[in-house]
A and B are shown apart, each in its own frame.
Chain A
């Protein structure tokens, strides 16, 4: 059962109200699990592994996923950019969706019943939180908690560790889940997964008929170059950055999957999160090289080559598809600019460091004591600024560049859904045309008077009539799914961008404050030169 005692998060008040105090505790290296909340330390790998950790920086990140949800107005965001501040609303929607979903399974029914039963007892029992907090101060808050309760799952990817040696080495990540959902065996649990496992999950989800029309979040890209460096050694800065980038991307990937109401129900997802040992995923070749987008584009081409073109009675799909394509182009442009911005910031880091050294040398050579001291102080200020620039570059990169990259791939996934709908339509049309041919041959057989063949023909016609009906229903269903998915995507996108931008601005405000402090400390030194 839930061994949640060792996973209790730090007391709420210290985590959110006085971030500075929580920070030192959070600075523990990701390897030790003792008394440490991995959701709190979500942000640590960013700080620790990049060697630029500042207590202030860690503290600004909301430490505990759950604590945010308690504050309805709190718009702090998780480290990995999948919105979480409106999980409340999301779950409310999902709650509804679950009930109306036709393709039920025993799991779903279980969930529905558990959701209705949770309206009774207080949710506090399923959370490992400071009990003081969970007392609902109002009915409203209680209702919020119930909605969250019935559909609550949080996932984190942490602790990348190199397994094995040489060219066969790989990195294993810890995937930790915390949930109140009844369909899982425990409330909190974790497993170790490698990158190909994540790809394998995507493979499994994307081939399922039941998910057709759904926007399945794409996994991060494979990278031969990146991985080769890591295999050689995980300690140099570029490897550290690569692993951190991948870890964060995998986390966002999983978070997007589990926040999708239908995907969360998928047994493969559950297995991925829960099962101790997962069979090695082998069919991931399609995702290699330029990976995901290449795959989508190839499929698109195949669809477009089909001779039968769709007649849209409703321009909604055409319009939306065009918008998606346009948006993808625009995001690519943005991504290119962000890349250049990140490079310039890194350059500024380097230049600032070199300048700091030159000032230190100048200060050392200086005879005038006050001037010498001021120049040495200046060198120190510039050193601190270099770190600031470093973090700024990281912020630009980890927030914007990755966000844009994610959405470019997500838009590819959206295009994929549209293609699926088109294929469904084509299948239906082809069935209709086959049915027509069967009817024609039946007519011919009537004329030719061959009773046995006639019987067979009639059977085939019945068969194809059934198929036509089925395919038409499939097409309609996919159409509805795509509509729903696109609307949900737009909502999520707006929320996601907003929360990432807020995170970015918070970091900017912080760094400006630090900058102000540097200058204020230096000014008296400069004035003291006589």
Chain B
């Protein structure tokens, strides 16, 4: 068990862009993820086992970097929701695409999280990242110090600040746009999930049809009966092939566009949280200014101090936030582009294979006696 991590910052010793989550091990209800990262100097890899709790530990440490100026302006790469073996319907719905398959999409999402963290200039230097990726021992299980913005945006009493009018046009526009995109991207991800689930159902039905056709095969030497049996067998093959294609299509959907939309949706939420933090700071600042103004001479200096501190913090946050927003735009467009291109390429491949197969079957049937 590691001691509580000191807030020491140092460079990351691995390549951030090709961290891989190569495997997921299931032990009863517990899931362990195998993470492989490449050493920066020389050859060699780090292999570590981590559970979801370890990921949360990492995230907590990233959140609680109070000494980093403007840290609240960072758009923190989003971590997926907690996975559950034999998940309930509610959990599955929450996980969306990440709950499909044998956890491969989930692993991909964790991988993306780590890559995003490791390539973020303000986050990667946190020692916790280094420990997480390279230490053979599991990182500390104890909770980091209670940080100032854990679940902040969920706090009900804070919610009313969300609509607080901004003083800066740029940020007001950013907030409006973010609100729009958060809603739309979440909706798109959910609708696409519906499509994928239906595709899976169709694949299953094709499989059933294929199996049922085998029951129609009859023994016997009657040439017409044999002809019919051959037809049933061939048709069974056709539907088995259709099942494979549909399964392939659904899998492609998930691993490309599905993950892309899921990430976009969660990242927009992360931006929303950052903007909300800034808005809260704005409210705090405005309150501090009013207090300083109204303060009686006794309290005046103290209030001015508070006001100054708030101003500095707010400016720092705004500075970081602006950078982050620009960075985020670049990152998300790149992610979406990749997702769309890969999706299209894979679907094109599947469609071509399908067309070939159907053609072959068509010729086979035409040639049948």
Where the two chains meet, the residues of A that have a C-beta atom closer than 8 Å to any C-beta of B are 75, 323, 327, 330-331, 333-334, 337-338, 340-341, 344-345, 347-348, 351-352, 354-355, 357-359, 361-362, 365-368, 371, 374, 378, 487, 490-491, 493-494, 497-498, 501-502, 505-506, 508-509, 512-513, 515-516, 519-520, 522-523, 526-527, 529-530
Contact = CB atoms under 8 A, between A and B. Distances in A.
10 closest A-B pairs by CB:
A490-B224, A512-B355, A526-B340, A529-B337, A519-B348, A494-B227, A355-B191, A341-B205, A505-B362, A358-B188
A523 B344 contact: yes
Nearest to A345: B202
Given A341-B206, A348-B202, A512-B354, A523 B348 contact: yes
A519 B347 contact: yes
B184 A512 contact: no
Interface residues of B, number: 55
20 contacts: A333-B215, A337-B205, A337-B209, A338-B209, A340-B205, A344-B198, A348-B202, A355-B191, A355-B194, A355-B195, A361-B184, A361-B187, A365-B180, A374-B337, A501-B235, A505-B365, A512-B351, A515-B351, A516-B348, A516-B355
B361 interface: yes
Given A341-B206, A520-B348, A526-B341, A354 B191 contact: yes
Given A493-B228, A523-B348, A513 B187 contact: no
B212 A501 contact: no
Nearest to A499: B365
A351 B195 contact: yes
B302 interface: no
Given A358-B184, A362-B188, A501-B365, A378 B231 contact: no
A97 B205 CA distance: 44
Contacts of A491: 224
Interface in B243-288: none
Interface of chain B: mostly helix, strand, loop or mixed: helix
Given A338-B209, A365-B181, 12 more contacts: A344-B202, A351-B195, A351-B198, A355-B192, A355-B194, A367-B177, A371-B337, A494-B227, A497-B228, A498-B368, A501-B365, A509-B355
Contact of B213 (A334, A348, A487, A530): A334
A334 B209 contact: yes
Interface string B6-38: 000000000000000000000000000000000
A333 B340 contact: no
Given A341-B202, A516-B352, A529-B337, A506 B224 contact: no
Interface of B: 177, 180-181, 184-185, 187-188, 191-192, 194-195, 198-199, 201-202, 205-206, 208-209, 212-213, 215-216, 218, 222, 224-225, 227-228, 231, 234-235, 238, 329, 333, 336-337, 340-341, 343-345, 347-348, 351-352, 354-355, 358-359, 361-362, 365-366, 368
A329 to B, nearest CB: 9
Contacts of B365: 498, 501-502, 505
B62 to A, nearest CB: 28
Nearest to A338: B209
B222 A490 contact: yes
Contacts of A493: 224, 228
Nearest to B181: A365
Contacts of B329: 368
A519 B351 contact: yes
Nearest to A366: B181
Contacts of B231: 494, 497-498, 501
A365 B173 CA distance: 12
B97 to A, nearest CB: 13
B201 A344 contact: yes
B188 A526 contact: no
A508 B351 CA distance: 11
A118 to B, nearest CB: 29
Nearest to B356: A512
Contacts of A490: 222, 224-225, 228
B329 to A, nearest CB: 7
A88 to B, nearest CB: 15
A330 B358 contact: no
B27 to A, nearest CB: 36
A256 B348 CA distance: 42
Contacts of B344: 519, 522-523, 526
Nearest to A517: B351
A426 B180 CA distance: 81
Contact of B198 (A348, A497, A506, A520): A348
Contact of B358 (A358, A367, A509, A526): A509
Nearest to B207: A337
A502 B362 contact: yes
A509 B231 CA distance: 19
Given A337-B205, A348-B198, A519-B348, A371 B188 contact: no
A4 B203 CA distance: 49
Given A498-B368, A523-B345, A378 B340 contact: yes
Contacts of B201: 344, 347
B193 to A, nearest CB: 9
Contacts of B348: 516, 519-520, 523
A5 B344 CA distance: 52
B338 to A, nearest CB: 9
B345 A362 contact: no
B358 A508 contact: yes
B267 to A, nearest CB: 14
A347 B196 CA distance: 11
Nearest to B210: A337
B356 to A, nearest CB: 9
A327 to B, nearest CB: 7
Nearest to B199: A348
Contacts of B191: 351, 354-355, 357-358
Nearest to B203: A344
Nearest to A363: B184
A523 B340 CA distance: 8
A386 to B, nearest CB: 10
